[in-house]
A = this chain, B = another copy of it.
Amino acid sequence: MSAHFDGWPHVIEAQQFSRQWIETEFLPTVNDMRHIVEVRECSILKGQKMVVLFYQPSTRTRMSFEMAMAFLGGTVAFSSENAGEFSSARKGETFFDTVKVINCYYPDVIVIRYNRQIGAKFAAEVSGAPIINAGDREPGQHPTQSLLDLNTIFQRRGEIDGLRIAMVGDLKNGRTVRSLSYLLGKFDGVQIDYVSPTDSQMGDDVKDYLKRHNVLFRESRDLREVAPFVDAIYQTRTQTECGASLDRNDRSLGYYIVDRTVVDLMKNNAIIMHPLPRVDEITTDVDDDPRSVYLTDQVKSGLFTRMALLKMILAPDV
């Protein structure tokens, strides 16, 4: 398994990663990154140039990529936090032209969050420089989020095989739960509980994939019914970035909130995750519970994961 993901230099969707790559390359490299951050001095990407192009603003994700590049000694040679507003996209240029132009400036890697679906995949078709997908428009994918989520679970539980994981919220429009589902499909004996209102259920494309990969999943409508049995609750926003939303007047919405009642039902070694930003779907009195990782380990995993990907892409032999 090459550091370049089977010879393809791009990071586009969760399905592209093999279990072997995850176990023998990705997880060990992430672990190395933690040590680099502690030492706070590293120059393995010295002189390498990253271009960051966000058509959909995201302080958190953009910051984690740019901090990752800084910790590895590389240069963020260009960054736009709202290219959708500020670029020639407004003047009618096609995204293909934009990607071709950027390639003429000889970047070493291009990090893209596009404001339409599968933008990163299109970019990869015409880009010589490696493309990293920093999040499709929802629904779609967010592959680096799913890798950091997987690493978070692995760090806490030491394995992925055999775990039972609840994903909660607007599953129909959430890109993070889609990408994580694809990734979990690579492992054995994983069970997924999709907990959502009927009009926000996980899409058939993902469910068909899970069936083909023998991943057991159930759909239910009350988090409290599954909380006692799962190893992780992956809570998501009920309001997605593209505007889709759970009906917040629905009196059953309480069924999808992580509060002390839910947490008290959980196993001692279970964990509580959230891709953030969190609004009110996890109550703040849960934040300090030792099982909560969404404001601590999971975010740090985002930095280490992006560092690992940049290192594997830009300095595979170091």
Contacts and interface: CB of A to CB of B under 8 A. Distances in A.
Interface of A: 37, 40-41, 47, 49, 51, 53, 57-60, 62-64, 66-67, 70-71, 75-78, 80-83, 85-88, 91-93, 97-98, 100-102, 104-107, 237, 239, 241, 276-280, 295-296, 299-300, 302-303
Given A47-B40, A92-B279, A276-B93, A106 B67 contact: yes
Given A101-B276, A106-B303, A295-B100, A78 B87 contact: no
A60 B91 CA distance: 12
Contacts of A57: 85-87
A93 B277 contact: yes
A280 B91 CA distance: 11
Nearest to A92: B279
A105 B85 CA distance: 27
10 contacts: A40-B47, A41-B47, A57-B85, A57-B86, A67-B77, A67-B107, A80-B81, A88-B277, A101-B299, A105-B299
Given A63-B51, A100-B295, A106-B303, A88 B58 contact: yes
A49 B78 CA distance: 15
Nearest to A90: B57
Nearest to A301: B104
A66 B78 contact: yes
B277 A37 contact: no
Given A70-B77, A97-B276, A241-B91, A104 B303 contact: yes
B105 A67 contact: yes
9 tightest CB-CB pairs across the interface, nearest first? Answer: A57-B86, A93-B277, A88-B277, A59-B87, A104-B299, A92-B279, A70-B77, A67-B105, A63-B78
A59 B295 CA distance: 31
A53 to B, nearest CB: 7
A59 B86 contact: yes
A305 to B, nearest CB: 12
